[in-house]
């Protein structure tokens, strides 16, 4: 989907692909500035951004963090090492 606003062509697909990267803080400063500019010209993309942001916040609040025992951590590390070594 492409939007036209004030004679500026905007690509919704590209913008929406960057939503998660933006929410995770993984955009470069230049990409972040372009992303914000794109959100400011397209209400559809801005709405999708807010939906994803609220969903991420919801999930973050629902996740219960639990500590693992040292034995469990060691077992996981051993299994990962074996997978990496092709065993």
What does the pLDDT look like over 27-86, one tens digit per residue?
999 999 999 999 999 999 999 999 999 999 999 888 887 888 999 999 999 999 998 887
- Terminal Cα distance for the chain, rounded: 47
- Are 41 and 50 within 8 A, CB to CB? no
pLDDT of amino acid 8: 57
User: Higher pLDDT residue, 3 or 62?
Assistant: 62
Distances (CA, A) of 52 to 22, 57, 75: 11, 9, 35
> Tell me: the pLDDT tens digits for 62-79?
888 788 899 999 999 999
Ramachandran angles phi, psi of 3, nearest 5°: -115, 145
Statement: residue 7 has pLDDT above 50: no
Q: What is the pTM of this model?
A: 0.64
User: Higher pLDDT residue, 75 or 7?
Assistant: 75
């Amino acid at each position: 989907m492409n939007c036209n606003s004030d004679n500026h062509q905007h690509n919704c697909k590209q913008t929406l692909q960057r939503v998660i990267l933006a929410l995770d803080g993984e955009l470069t400063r230049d990409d972040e500035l372009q992303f914000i500019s794109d959100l400011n010209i397209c209400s559809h993309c801005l709405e999708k951004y807010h939906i994803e942001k609220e969903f991420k916040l919801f999930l973050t609040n629902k996740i219960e963090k639990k500590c693992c025992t040292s034995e469990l951590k060691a077992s996981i590390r051993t299994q990962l090492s074996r997978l990496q070594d092709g065993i």
